Amino acid sequence: MPDSAQERTQKPTGRVISKTRNDGQIPQSQEFLSFVSILVLITMITFLAPNMMQWFTNQIRTGMAADTAVFTNTKVFVNFLNAKIVGSTLIMAPIMIALCVAAIAATAFVGNGLNIANNALKLKFDMINPVSGFKKLINIQSGVRLLLSILKFTFVAIIIWVYIKGKLDSFAPLRWVWSFQILTIISKLILGLMIRVCLALFVLGVGDVIFQKWKYTKDLMMTKQEVKEEQKQTEGDPTAKKRQRSAQYAMVVKRIMQEVPKADVILVNPTHYAVALKYDAKTMEAPIMLAKGADHVAEKIREVARAYGVPIIRRPELTRTIYGSVKSGGPIPELLYVAVAEVLAMIYRLRQKV
C-alpha cells in the first residue's frame, strides 16, 4: 500500500468525533478554566465586597465581644460555631454557585458543547491499575505537560512578585490603622493582584484553547483508507450496493418483460416516464397499471412495447399523474377514468380499422 494512503491527511468524520466524545475525549483547557474562574471570582467579590466586609467585621466584633460562657460551655460553643459556619456558607454560596456555573460554561465552550460521556462513566480496571497509571506518569507527553505547567507557574509567579514588590511600601502603615481599614487595604491589594493574574491567565488560556482544539483535531486525523472503511460501515460497501442495485434493476426488467406484452397501451411523458395500462371489461372493474418506470426503466418499457407491437401514446400530464399516484398492479383512480377511457377507446378504434 502506498505511503500516501497511510498518511493522516483526512479530517475526522462525524462518527469518529461522536465516538471519542462518548468516550470522554474532548478539547480541554485548564488555563482557560482558571482564567474564567478567576474572572468570575473577581466579579462576584467586587459586587459582594461591601456586604462581605460588613459581615466579616460583624463576625470579628461578635467573636471578640462574646461572653466567656460561650467558650466554657461546650453546648453553647457548638451552637455558636454552627451559627458561624452556616453564616459563612450562606455568604459564600453565591460565589461557589457562580464558580460552578462558570466551570461548566467554560468546559462547554472549549469542548464545543456540553458532553455527557456514557462510556467514560463505566468502571475500567486499567484506570485503577497502578502499573498502567505509573506508565502514564512517566510517558513523554506527561513530561511535556509537567514542563509547560512549570513554565506557566513561573510566568504567573513573576507577575505576582513584580506586583507585590511594587506594593511593599503599602504594608508599612498597616500597623497604625484600624482592623477594618486593614481589611480594606489588603482586599484592594489582593483584588489588584487577582486582576493581573487574571490577565496573565487570559493570555495563556486563549493560546491554550487554540492549541487544544488544533491538537484534538490533529489527533483524530484519519488516513484515506480509514475514511473508506468508515464510509463502508455507515453507508455500506459501494460494491455491494452496486450489486444490489443491479439485482433490483434485473427484477424490474423481468417484470417489464412479463407485463408489458400484456398491456393495451403504453403512456409516455415522452422520455422520462412510461406506464403500461390494461383493461378487460369482463374481468376488471377498472383499468390497471401493469408496470411503470422512469428514465432508463421507461426506455426499457418502450423498447419491449415496440418489440411486441403495443401502442405507445404521448400523454405527458396523464402519464406523470398515473406514475405518481398508482402502484404497479394497482387500479386507476376514478378521477382518471375519463382520461384513460378516451385513450383506450382510441386504441380500440385503431384496432378495429386494422
Task: Indicate which CATH number applies to the domain containing 328.
Answer: 3.40.1690.10
Report the relative pairing of strands 288-294 and 312-314 from DSSP bridges.
unpaired
Report the relative pairing of strands 265-268 and 273-278 from DSSP bridges.
antiparallel
Structural domain tally of the chain? 2
- Rounded Cα distance between 11 and 305, Å, is 51
Residue 124 pLDDT level (bands cut at 50, 70, 90): low
Average pLDDT, the chain: 78
Burial of 178 (0-12, 13-18, 19+ CB in 10 A): exposed
Whether 139 has a pLDDT exceeding 70, the answer reads no
- Rounded Cα distance between 180 and 196, Å, is 25
Residue 274 pLDDT level (bands cut at 50, 70, 90): very high
Whether 100 has a pLDDT exceeding 80, the answer reads yes
Whether 125 has a pLDDT exceeding 60, the answer reads no
Between 13 and 118, the higher pLDDT residue = 13
- Last residue of a domain, which of 197, 213, 231? 231
Give the position of cell 514588590.
Answer: 165
- Are 175 and 96 contained in the same domain? yes
Whether 18 has a pLDDT exceeding 80, the answer reads no
- Are 198 and 310 contained in the same domain? no
Per-residue model confidence (pLDDT) at position 176 = 63
Cell numbers for 277: 395500462
Q: Give φ, ψ of 320 to 5 degrees.
A: -65, -40
- Are 63 and 84 contained in the same domain? yes
Between 173 and 152, the higher pLDDT residue = 152
- Rounded Cα distance between 250 and 242, Å, is 12
- Are 11 and 111 contained in the same domain? yes
Cell numbers for 112: 464545543
- Are 117 and 158 contained in the same domain? yes
- Are 136 and 207 contained in the same domain? yes
- Rounded Cα distance between 203 and 206, Å, is 6
- Residue 291 near residue 256, CB atoms below 8 Å: yes
- Are 173 and 252 contained in the same domain? no
- Are 210 and 284 contained in the same domain? no
Burial of 291 (0-12, 13-18, 19+ CB in 10 A): buried
- Are 49 and 169 contained in the same domain? yes
Poorest-pLDDT segment among 113-122, 227-236, 313-322 = 113-122
- Are 206 and 251 contained in the same domain? no
Whether 317 has a pLDDT exceeding 80, the answer reads yes
Q: Which amino acid is at 294?
A: A
Whether 159 has a pLDDT exceeding 80, the answer reads yes
- Last residue of a domain, which of 190, 208, 231? 231
- Are 8 and 100 contained in the same domain? yes
- Last residue of a domain, which of 231, 266, 285? 231
Entry pTM: 0.50
Residue 107 pLDDT level (bands cut at 50, 70, 90): confident
- Are 215 and 276 contained in the same domain? no
Poorest-pLDDT segment among 1-5, 54-58, 205-209 = 1-5
- Rounded Cα distance between 147 and 153, Å, is 10
Residue 326 belongs to domain spanning: 240-353
What's the Rg (C-alpha) of the chain?
41
Between 73 and 137, the higher pLDDT residue = 73
